[in-house]
């Protein structure tokens, strides 16, 4: 498996930001999702973010919600998510899961961390888990050798950013807006300000998510962030495609455009 630290170090040595791509497991099907995630890697994505579909996604916009609900209706389980991680990690790309806390707690905190490690996963993003309540989780991922990844937002105080950075490993996820995920015509100006506020408080790589959908936007974010996170735009490729093959091709093409963007941003 490839660690997040090694991935960001390689991107830095190449004078660029890392590209992080997201899709919810099980959409449009188990195999269809795996094919699309592999296509992402082939197109130039450095870190793959596998979403664990959940029925009450507080942070997800309508595009990701549509795909996640379809995945749940198709019977996608947490075990399917872990199988997806295993399949994608086999490509050599650093592979993480993004999950709300409830499914992890239901599965079992320790068992989930151990299962992630066994599947070749290297990190877990938990958008609704706060550092104050993360004690058991931090112990579990520490034992399993998995990076816990937490979020900061434009509303986060310096004290909060320091607290979050103190328990985060791998990279710090900087949400560019206070809203939900989704494609936007332009990336929020708050993103660069947030990254500038974070820099003096941690040596962790900082990746920006929420809103990036084009190579031009990826280049814009790559000029000041260590990582560029793209989710809804990849999901939209699958939703809008006439069939699964076309969807995978669209994902690969978008990954190529975004990969070129993060390489031209500096």
For the annotated catalytic residues, the residue numbers are 49, 60
Q: Which long-range contacts (CB under 8 A, 24 or more apart) does 158-162 make?
A: 158/197, 158/201, 161/197, 161/198, 161/201, 161/202, 162/201, 162/202
Closest by Cα among 35, 65, 52, 46 to 5: 46
Q: What is the DSSP secondary structure assignment for residue 90, as one 8-state letter?
A: T
Closest by Cα among 61, 43, 62, 48 to 2: 48
Please name the helix (run of DSSP H) or strand (run of DSSP E) that holds residue 127, with its range, or none.
none
Tell me phi and psi for residue 96, to 5 degrees: -125, 165
Longest dimension (CA), the chain: 48
């Amino acid at each position: 498996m490839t660690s997040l630290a090694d991935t960001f170090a390689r991107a830095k040595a190449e004078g660029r930001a890392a590209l992080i791509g997201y899709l919810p497991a099980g959409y449009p099907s188990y195999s269809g999702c795996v094919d699309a995630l592999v296509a992402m890697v082939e197109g130039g994505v450095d870190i793959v973010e596998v979403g664990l579909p959940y029925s009450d996604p507080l942070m997800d916009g309508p595009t990701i919600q549509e795909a996640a609900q379809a995945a749940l209706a198709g019977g996608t389980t947490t075990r399917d998510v872990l199988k997806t991680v295993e399949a994608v990690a086999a490509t050599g790309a650093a592979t993480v899961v993004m999950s709300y806390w409830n499914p992890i707690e239901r599965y079992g905190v320790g068992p989930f961390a151990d299962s992630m490690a066994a599947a070749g996963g290297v990190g877990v993003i938990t958008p609704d888990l706060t550092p104050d309540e993360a004690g058991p989780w931090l112990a579990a991922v520490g034992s399993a050798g998995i990076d816990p990844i937490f979020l900061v937002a434009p509303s986060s105080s310096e004290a909060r950013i320091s607290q979050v950075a103190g328990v985060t490993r791998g990279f710090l996820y900087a949400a560019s807006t206070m809203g939900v995920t989704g494609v936007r015509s332009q990336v929020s100006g708050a993103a660069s300000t947030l990254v500038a506020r974070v820099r003096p408080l941690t040596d962790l790589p900082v990746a920006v998510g929420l809103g990036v959908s084009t190579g031009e936007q990826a280049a814009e974010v790559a000029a000041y962030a260590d990582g560029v996170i793209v989710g809804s735009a990849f999901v939209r490729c699958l939703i809008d495609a006439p069939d699964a093959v076309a969807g995978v091709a669209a994902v690969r093409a978008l990954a190529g455009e975004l990969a070129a963007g993060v390489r031209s941003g500096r």
